[in-house]
Amino acid sequence: MTFGVAIFLGFLLLATQVMVHLYATSMVTAVAFDEARRASTEGGDCAGVEARVVDRLGEWGSRPGVRVTCTAGAPPGPGTPGVPTTVRVVGPSPARSLSIFGNQPIALIDRSASFLTEREVAP
């Protein structure tokens, strides 16, 4: 009986940690998506992107291991394709218990989003 309860609690802990990891991954993906879209519509300007990402991610975004990078794109010109604006967020997963499996991708959140940089069209 005691062994069964211990196994049940172990699976409950595992399920909780997986849900925390999936929620954090979803939040990071959404923030990267929003900020990449915002930067691309501003002509590929990455000014302030890192600060907004850290602010929107709250406590997790200000952890020492979290890195935010923004690669500025260029709008398409005559005969040249545009260069996408990319925002990438990398950091440790808040679900620390998943690292016992020894698989590095489980213990790390690495998400990026890219949008083609837009340019203003004169009326």
**pLDDT tens sequence across 52-74:** 999 999 888 888 889 998 888 77
pLDDT value at residue 7: 92
In a domain, 36, yes or no: yes
Neighbours of 33 (CB within 10 A): 16
Residue with tokens 């595992």: 14
Question: In this structure, what DSSP letter does residue 97 have?
Answer: G
Question: In this structure, what DSSP letter does residue 94 have?
Answer: S
In a domain, 108, yes or no: yes
Beta strands (DSSP E) in the chain are: 67-71, 84-92, 108-116
pLDDT value at residue 101: 67
CA angle 51, 55, 56 (to 5 degrees): 120
pLDDT value at residue 122: 57
Structural domain count, the chain = 1
Residues 6 and 93: their CA atoms lie apart, in Å, by 25
pLDDT beneath 50: ranges in the chain: none
Residue with tokens 């691309």: 40
Q: How far is CA 98 from CA 13, 19, 74, 103, 118, in A?
A: 10, 11, 40, 8, 40
Host domain of residue 72: 2-116
User: Model's pTM, two decimal places?
Assistant: 0.81
